[in-house]
Structure formats: structure tokens, C-alpha cells
Amino acid sequence: MTEIDWAAQAEHLRKTATDEADWNELVAGALVRPTDQLVVDVGCGGGGMAKALAGAVPGATVVALDADEEVLRQAREHTAGLVRCELVSMDDGPEPLRAAIGAPADLVWASASVHHAADQQAAVNALASLLAPGGRLALAEGGLPSRMLPWDLGLGEPGLELRLDLAQDRWFAAMREAIPGSVPMPYGWTDALRNAGLTDVTTQSVLTEKPVPLPEEDRERVIEQLRLRVARLDPAEQDSDHGHGHGHGHGHGHGDVAEITLDADDLTVWRQLLDAGSPHYLGRRTDLASLSVRSIHVGHAPA
């Protein structure tokens, strides 16, 4: 199934907000300007980037928006009064968004949230309309698939992680098709920003890599990420919802479609790799990696 229960994901999103604090602080520091007065995080998830933005521009007002009450509760706890949190969905159009933030924004950030909107271009248009003259809209969407495993694990057919990427891509396509009123967007995010009337559109990709062998905490984090991805594609887990991919924000729940699953042989291998009681448990390996590349697309409102 591709329906996402965001309330069930709230605790995981909060944990991600903590785990990715360094990445959030790095990106926030590069995006803000000392003159920024109002900064907005749309689809804030656990509040990780909202908290980082508040730390990067202490004099600014930071507003975190999300469409789920439980997710927003976790964001409030994580940001501990540094951020104003408001319940609103980008699918409702620009007016509720404007009302929630209260004034034109200098910077609007949206990470892995626009791709959950029924009409992604309309969502980008709505976010662009929130900007003050000269303000920036930054979309964290896409990048490269993460790399965590060696190609040959000595168990099953080599290329296991590559096939997981392909299955996840099929799941993502099914998720998009199942959104009520889904509208295709057959072009890239930079074109979407230009179509919204923004200028000086650029993309910068941020590479994050940790030295191997990973310490135990990072190794367990990698295993948990893989466990969540596999669970979404395991028929035995289809009764549970496990949000999409490495994203942190979101819009609304999605309808069910035909199940997207992994190959049966690959599932057998994954179950052994993710079973702490198995001799093949990934936690016993010293060659796990943590390598990711995430892209940030930025457009500017005319001054």
C-alpha cells in the first residue's frame, strides 16, 4: 500500500530531526541572510530544519508548517519554543499558507514535501507567492540514491541495494498516481521554480559521507533506514505504513494502490540481513557505509 499515516511516522520524523542536526545546521547556515526577518519551513516534519534555521538567524521569526497534528506536536517539542508552529497544508492553496505565516517571507524552505502535493507545480506556485521581494524559495528534492552496502554481500545475488532503489522508485510512482487529483509534472524542479515566476534559479547538491568503519550508533542508524525502506516493500509488513524515502516533510495521506513488493529471493535475504539474531545481520559487518547526496533548488522572487 502507498497510503501514508503521518501520525504514525511522527516519532520517526522527530528522531530524524535529531539525527540530521549537523546536515540541517550546515544547509541552514548557507541559505540564510543576516537581514532575514521571517523564515518558513513548509512540511516541517520533526522540526529539525526549523530549529537549525532559528539558530542560524537568531533575530528572525521562524514559522514551521505541517498538515498533521501529531507531527506538529513533535516539532513543537523539538524546537522548544524557538519556532512558531502552525497547522496548515500546502494543498489548501496560498491563502491559508499566507494566513498562517502572517507576512511575506524572506526564505521559504520545503524538504521532500512538495512531491506529496497533488499538483506539484501549483504547490510551488503557492510557496513562491509567500515570498517578499527578493525572497528565496529553497526546495530539497531529489539528489542521488544513498549508498550503504557493498555490491556483493556474500548472500543472495549481488546488487541488492540497487534493486531496492528500483523497487522504491516503483513505489514512489505508485504513490504519486494514488494521490487524489494527482497532476503529472514532466519536468525538473528548476523549471518548476521558473514557472512560478522565480529568477536566478540554481541547484546545489550536498554530499554527506561518514568514515568507514562506522561507529555503532551510525551503523544502527543505517540499519534502521534500510529496515524502514524494506518494510514498505515487504508483503508481511503491508498492514503498516512507513512514509516515503529520506524525506522529512509531507502533505496528506494517499490512497491505496496495488502492492509494490521486492522480489521474493531478495526479501529472504533482507530478512536475514535485518534480523539481529541472524549470523548475516548487518550489524556484524564493518563495511557498511553512510553516503548520501541531496539536491537543493533555489529560486528568487523579483526584487
Check pLDDT > 70 for residue 245: no
Determine if the peptide bond prior to 104 is cis (ω within 30°). Answer: no
Residue 115 lies in a domain: yes
Per residue in 27-56, pLDDT (tens digit) is: 999 999 999 999 999 999 999 999 999 999
Give the model's pLDDT for residue 11: 63
Please state which of the ranges 36-45, 85-94, 130-139, 153-162 shows the lowest mean pLDDT.
Answer: 85-94
Distance CA 127, CA 79 (A): 22
Structural domain harbouring 205: 6-300
Number of domains in the chain: 1
Residue 240 lies in a domain: yes
Give the model's pLDDT for residue 93: 87
* Average pLDDT of span 277-302: 97
Give the model's pLDDT for residue 244: 36
Give the model's pLDDT for residue 16: 75
- Give the bridge partners for 300, in sequence order: 136, 199
Residue 245 lies in a domain: yes
CATH code for position 222? 3.40.50.150
Residue 247 lies in a domain: yes
Residue 126 lies in a domain: yes
Residue 1 lies in a domain: no
Q: What is the DSSP string of 111-179?
A: ES-GGGSSBHHHHHHHHHTTEEEEEEEEEEEEEEEEE-S-S--SSSSS-HHHHHHHHHHHHHHHHHHHS
Prediction pTM value:
0.89
C-alpha cell at 288: 557498511
- Determine the longest span between alpha carbons in the chain, in angstroms: 61
Residues 177 and 258: beta-carbon distance below 8 Å: no
Residue 39 lies in a domain: yes
**Burial environment of residue 34 by CB neighbours within 10 A (0 to 12, 13 to 18, 19 or more):** exposed
C-alpha cell at 158: 549481488
* Average pLDDT of span 100-108: 97
Distance CA 48, CA 5 (A): 20
More confident residue, 153 or 90: 153
Which residue, chain included where needed, has cell 537543493? 296
Check pLDDT > 80 for residue 1: no
Residues 111 and 248: beta-carbon distance below 8 Å: yes
Residue 210 lies in a domain: yes
Q: What does the H/E/C string look like for 17-61?
A: HHHCHHHHHHHHHHHCCCCCCEEEEECCCCCHHHHHHHHHCCCCE
Per residue in 42-98, pLDDT (tens digit) is: 999 999 999 999 999 999 999 999 998 999 999 999 999 899 999 999 888 899 999
